[in-house]
Amino acid sequence: MQETSEFDIRLIPSHIALIMDGNGRWAEERRRPRLAGHKAGVDSVRAVVETAREIGVRYLTLYAFSTENWQRPRAEVKGLMALLRTYLESELRTMLKNDIRLFCIGQRERLPADVLSVLEQVMQETEHCREMTLNLALSYGGRNEMIRAVRKMAHKCVAGEVDPDALSEGMLGECLDTFGQPDPDLLIRTGGEHRLSNFLLWQVSYAELYFTETKWPDFRKYQLLEAVATYGRRQRRFGKTGAQLLGR
């Protein structure tokens, strides 16, 4: 963990959200099946989780499978689910060792039963871990998350627990899958596309956006440190003027 000394801790985002894109094209470039790209991508997940933990990131949210990804060819979905399961099985020990809590956002009930059971087991076994929370976005869609949150709030109103006129941004935030967690400070998308693809639509309202051409299987420790360094050079104004932030 010595490399962390060169980083000013105030400039480390406490929450990084990551759209891990480009696995398929990475494989196609090498004339290999798309699944080979997803497989190589798992090594990037390991490297990025380890690095994030090393530099003191408190929350890391990885977009692993979107609600829209169910529309992919069946064999690809099956392959991705199998990779997810082996990843979870193989990482439990490392997560415990590094004090990393696993959490899941999205419609986890749509996952195959065997994957769901391993996922829930790892979540349960790492529940006490405090250094970093690793959120896996699985069968996740921002609009789906928001409509589920709105339904929860509507039920509370109908039950007379909340006055509709008292509904607040804070209350909606508490009904989202990410309840209790800070919003992402930095959103990274690999693979060259410049879009959100239904990821954390509510939570990224003030995130710094970082897009890179690097495809996910090539995104490792160095690339993450580069993104974090870029973030550290940005001025986040939250609607204020630069002078206000400098106290002038």
The tokens describing 169, both together, are: 């941004």
Nearest-approach distance from CB 81 to ligand IPE, in angstroms: 10
Q: What is the DSSP string of 176-235?
A: STTTTSPPPSEEEE-SS----TTSSTTTTTTPEEEE-SS-GGG--HHHHHHHHHHHHT--
Contact flag: residue 36 with ligand IPE (CB under 6 A): no
83, 39 contact by CB (below 8 A): yes
Q: 27 or 136: whose CB is closer to Mg ion?
A: 27
Q: Give the nearest distance from C-beta 177 to ligand IPE in angstroms.
A: 15
Is residue 89 at the binding interface for ligand IPE, with CB under 6 A as the rule?
A: no
Q: Does 107 help bind ligand IPE (rule: CB under 6 A)?
A: no
Site for ligand IPE in 48-77 (CB under 6 A): 63-66, 68-69
Q: In what order do the strands lie in the sheet with 15-19?
A: 100-105, 132-140, 59-66, 15-19, 186-189, 208-211
Residue 184 touches ligand IPE, criterion: CB under 6 A: no
Among 68, 1, 13, which residue's Cα sits nearest to residue 181? 13
Output 13 or 24, the one with its CB closest to ligand IPE.
24
**Does residue 197 bind ligand IPE (CB under 6 A)?**
yes
As a whole number of angstroms, the distance between CA 137 and CA 172 comes to 19
Inter-CA distances, 152 with 65, 90, 161, 171, Å: 24, 35, 11, 10
Q: By three-state DSSP, how is residue 32 classified?
A: coil
Interface residues for ligand IPE in 2-31 (CB under 6 A)?
Answer: 19-25
* Shortest CB 144 distance to ligand IPE, Å: 13
Q: Does 141 bind ligand IPE (CB under 6 A)?
A: no
Nearer to ligand IPE, 54 or 212 (CB): 212
CA dist., res. 80 & res. 84, Å (int): 6
Number of H helices, E strands in the chain: 8, 6
How many angstroms separate the CA atoms of 55 and 7, rounded?
8
Give the nearest residue (CB) to Mg ion: 21
* Residue 33 main-chain phi, psi, to 5 deg: -65, 150
* 183 is an active site residue: no
Decide if 69 is catalytic.
yes
Catalytic residue among 23, 43, 69, 163: 69
Q: Which does 79 bind (CB under 5 to 8 A by kind): Mg ion, ligand IPE, none?
A: none
Q: Cβ distance 193 to 21 under 8 Å?
A: yes
Return the one option of ligand IPE, Mg ion, none that residue 184 interacts with (CB less than 5 to 8 A, by type): none
The option from Mg ion, ligand IPE, none interacting with 20 (CB < 5 to 8 A, set by class) reads: ligand IPE
| Partner interacting with residue 131 (select from Mg ion, ligand IPE, none; CB below 5-8 Å by kind) | none
Binding residues for ligand IPE (CB under 6 A): 19-25, 63-66, 68-69, 80, 191, 193, 195, 197
Write out the catalytic residue numbers.
21, 69
